[in-house]
Structure 1
Amino acid sequence: MKPIARPVYLNLFRIHLPLPGWVSILHRVSGALLFVALPLGVWALSVSLADEAGFRRIADCIAHPLTLLVLLGLIWAFAHHLLAGVRHLALDAHWGTDLKNARQSSLAVVLASGLVTLLAAWRLFA
């Protein structure tokens, strides 16, 4: 029997993934991003609650435009992870598992998380 030729690696940029696939991958990426950012957030909260000078230091740091962009990225990650997680729970309960509904729900996740991020950007940079 002739062995089956298998790919050596998977290049996600060469594979045409449908939108539900990208939503699933971004769900994992956003979860990892939130996990990595959690210690920094706990540290900032601890410093800001310690005394007035610590609060002022963290407030000044958050006022920096680069920090605001990082915060906006974390807001997107939280919104996307939350909405995609609800979508995955619905799929686990066999709600919307047909192709049309799966595509619509993944588009809804992308649009809703983008809308939440735009509203946060409008609020942060206004």
Structure 2
Amino acid sequence: MGQTVTKKQRPVHLDLRTIRQPVAAIASILHRVSGVITLFALAILLWLLSYSLSSEAGFLKVVDIVDGFFVWFILWGILTALAYHIVGGIRHMIMDLGYCSELETGALSAKVALGVTAFLSVLAGIMVW
């Protein structure tokens, strides 16, 4: 009953911009973000597909929607997110098998995943335009 509780010294203000994350952590966060982007993009793309298959007028409306630089840019972003999610997923599966799970090899595999995604993103940009 007579115990005194001492307050731990914790930072009052933690500035997240000053914390430097390792490349493996950034790759993991980006994998989750790309998964969310892919989920919402899939819903929109399925809606566009359904609308385009509903009738000839629906198809022409979808063609009008998709025919524009802004929409092509969004499609390129969707393809890039999907590519990163696939590459990051393969990276995580390889790590689950016990390979590249050490700190150095994990950082290297994250850099390789980012590099492969950059290449696939450029390839998708060439294909979209």
TM-score, normalising length from structure 1?
A: 0.87
State the distance in 2 between where 1:6 and 1:113 align: 39
SS of residue matched to 1:13: helix
SS of residue matched to 2:18: coil
Give the residue type in structure 2 aligned to 1:16. Answer: R
RMSD: 1.9
Q: Which structure 1 residue ranges, 5 or more long, are not aligned?
A: none
Which of 33, 39, 42 pairs up with 1:35?
Answer: 39
State the distance in 1 between where 2:105 and 2:78 align: 28
1:62 and 2:75 correspond:
no
Query: What are the equivalent positions in structure 2 for 1:42-121 lying under 5 Å apart?
Result: 42-121=46-125
- How many residues align structurally? 125
- Match for residue 127 of structure 2? 123
Tell me which structure has the larger Cα radius of gyration: 2
- Aligned identity (percent) is 32
Give the residue type in structure 1 aligned to 2:23. Answer: L
TM-score, normalising length from structure 2?
A: 0.85
- Match for residue 24 of structure 1? 28
Q: Which structure 2 residue ranges, 5 or more long, are not aligned?
A: none
